[in-house]
Amino acid sequence: MAATSIEWTQVTWNPTTGCDRTSPGCDHCYALTLAKRLKAMHQPKYQNDGDPRTSGPGFAVTLHEESLNLPFSWTTPTTVFVNSMSDLFHDRVPLEFIQSVFSVMEATPQHTYQVLTKRSQRLVKLAYELRWPPNIWMGVSIENQSYSFRARHLLEVPASVRFISAEPLIGPLSLTLDGIHWVIAGGESGIGARGMDPTWVREIRDDCLEAGVAFFFKQWGGRTPKANGRELDGRHWDDMPLTPDFNLT
């Protein structure tokens, strides 16, 4: 377990690390940059190099069986972002390993797990090989309209909470929100960060308000994640799914 500054979760858990670029939202991947730094610091999880055409130093897809049982040691109910440094549904993560991750999540119902993927086609393919207890929230990342098909795939998954992460939002995005419980939106950060038009964010927020879907605005982005703050129209938007008393404290 690692504490995180990600506003919509409490901690991260990485039973796998590493990934490959799969769409334009990956072009300035924070995890790829961080993995390179962790490799230089001799962090053991980040010593396998990925294909330089699609990945990078310390960012080969790697399974960490020694990390599987960590949630059993957490005594306080916790909201957990699963694989902040990878994609659990990457083609090089075997079904059997994904099932092991899901088994741990099912066996620790005191925790809430947030799983996020760009590989929605494989998610759908494997969904009915997995058990979906109510403490597993499943999400897809969508950066612009060209990748809105991921939301359609998500609707085929029998998760109790389905969510969309529109981050980094690099183009306009119109969503049909039937069957979706939560939307996160945010701009890109890091060197070369692409700008985000405020109109794109407002349209997503307004769609959520009209559909009664929880909306969370994470950041405007820039050179650093917090460079331009996270206020939208004079306020923070920190809605979470499920009950009104759900919070991250």
Three-state SS for 123-188 is HHHHHHHCCCCCCEEEEEECCCHHHCHHHHHHCCCCCCEEEEEECCCCCCCCCCCCCCCEEEEECC
Q: How confident is the model at residue 242 (pLDDT cuts 50, 70, 90)?
A: confident
Q: Is 100 helix (H, G, I), strand (E, B) or coil?
A: helix
Least Cα distance to 113 among 123, 103, 124 occurs for: 103
Over 80: is that where the pLDDT of 16 sits?
yes
The larger pLDDT score, comparing residue 6 to residue 2, is at 6
Q: Give the model's confidence band at 23: pLDDT under 50 very low, under 70 low, under 90 confident, else very high.
A: very high
In this model, does residue 199 exceed pLDDT 50?
Answer: yes
State which CATH number among 3.30.70, 1.10.3470, 3.40.50, 3.20.20 fits the domain covering 6-219: 3.20.20
153 band by pLDDT with thresholds 50, 70 and 90: very high
> Average pLDDT in the 96-114 region?
98
Q: Would you state the pLDDT for residue 249?
A: 46
Please give the pLDDT value at position 96.
98
Average pLDDT over residues 213-223: 96
Average pLDDT over residues 188-208: 96
pLDDT at 237: 98
Q: Is the predicted pLDDT of residue 86 greater than 80, yes or no?
A: yes
Using CA atoms, how far residue 53 sits from 19, 56, 57, 200, 237, in Å, is 12, 8, 11, 31, 37
Q: What is the pLDDT of residue 3?
A: 87
More confident of the two residues 121 and 226? 121
What is the reported pLDDT for 222?
Answer: 93
- Percent of residues, the chain, with pLDDT higher than 70: 97
Q: What is the pLDDT of residue 248?
A: 54
> What is the average pLDDT score of the chain?
95
Q: What whole-number distance in Å separates Cα of residue 31 and Cα of residue 55?
A: 10
**DSSP secondary-structure letter at 9?**
-
> pLDDT category, 1, cuts 50, 70, 90?
low
Q: Does 14 have pLDDT greater than 70?
A: yes
